[in-house]
Homo-oligomer: A and B are copies of this chain.
Amino acid sequence: MNHSGFDAWARSEQAAVEAALDAWVPADAPAGLGLAMRYGVLDGGKRLRPLLVLAAAQAVQGQREAALRAACAVELIHAYSLVHDDMPCMDNDVLRRGKPTVHVQFGQAQAMLAGDAMQALAFEVLTPDEGIVPPALQARLCSLLARSAGHAGMAGGQAIDLASIGVPIDENTLRDMHHRKTGALLQTSVLMGAACGSLSDSAWQSLSAYGDALGLAFQVVDDILDATQASETLGKTAGKDLDNNKPTYVTVLGLGAARRHANELRDKAQAALAHSGLHDAAW
């Protein structure tokens, strides 16, 4: 797919994800909870994880309804983690995607509940009536998502992040943190999409390696952007990792080495994708 073809595809899929989230995140949940949930997930972000789910699903001719649900479920998990991460007891951030963060807008208690309800909603979206998505696929998607969101994945990575504030850490610890904190959900996005179709064990392994390298590359680039871009460009508070005294690829490796590492990881991701045999399908 060429560049403008990708852009058109991405815009179309972003619109599909937005419409599905709009339908599935309830405005009428009680006492303003639905409004806080919708504020936290609608109309924001590049929808990178949903795009990974949908691209992988298309590469394996996966079931569309299941893939769209998987895409929204992954985004709900990502969005809830941002809501909780922004709270005063964590990163204490007031700006996200150019808007006040959820706890600034709705209060801390409602923000915590909204995040909790968004995580539950991810699993609701994955488990519709069995006529809509086959139960075995529902179970597989729930299994992948729960493991990437929990202690072995995203939440575990955030715990390492929390423990590493102001502490000098080496590249291995930094990599482990990011593998869990950001990489796990990105890798799982690819695998959830792939699970919506059928593919060989070997292609599954290659896609898993692709998601792994991509996830880490994403974090290295995020660290580079945090250190080099202005808040207006990012739509969030820039330089906050430095301000919070958090280790990043830029502080641990230096800017030049971080850029080289990002390039290496991109090459690794592309090689794994080529090896999967799915490269020419939709990617």
Interface residues of A (CB under 8 A from B): 26, 29-34, 37, 80-81, 84, 87, 89-90, 107-110, 112-113, 115-117, 119-124, 126-127, 130, 135-136, 138-140, 142-143, 145-147, 149-153, 155-160, 162-164, 176, 180
Contacts and interface: CB of A to CB of B under 8 A. Distances in A.
Nearest to A164: B31
Contacts of A116: 80-81, 84, 115-116, 119, 149, 155
Contact of A155 (B113, B123, B145): B113
A120 B151 contact: yes
A135 B146 contact: no
A108 to B, nearest CB: 4
A155 B84 CA distance: 15
A155 B112 CA distance: 10
Contacts of A135: 135-136, 138-140
Given A136-B136, A139-B135, A155-B120, A112 B113 contact: no
Contacts of A80: 116
A243 to B, nearest CB: 17
Given A108-B89, A121-B150, A32 B130 contact: no
A112 B87 contact: yes
19 contacts: A29-B152, A30-B156, A30-B160, A30-B163, A30-B176, A30-B180, A81-B116, A84-B112, A87-B89, A112-B112, A113-B158, A116-B119, A117-B150, A117-B156, A120-B146, A120-B149, A120-B155, A138-B139, A139-B139
A113 B162 contact: yes
Contacts of A159: 29-33, 110, 113
A150 B113 contact: no
A64 B14 CA distance: 43
A126 B155 contact: no
Nearest to A36: B159
A119 to B, nearest CB: 5
Nearest to A140: B135
Contacts of A176: 30
A87 B115 CA distance: 15
A30 B152 CA distance: 8
A143 B156 contact: no
A6 B127 CA distance: 35
A205 to B, nearest CB: 18
Nearest to A165: B109
Contacts of A156: 29-31, 33, 117
A139 B130 contact: yes
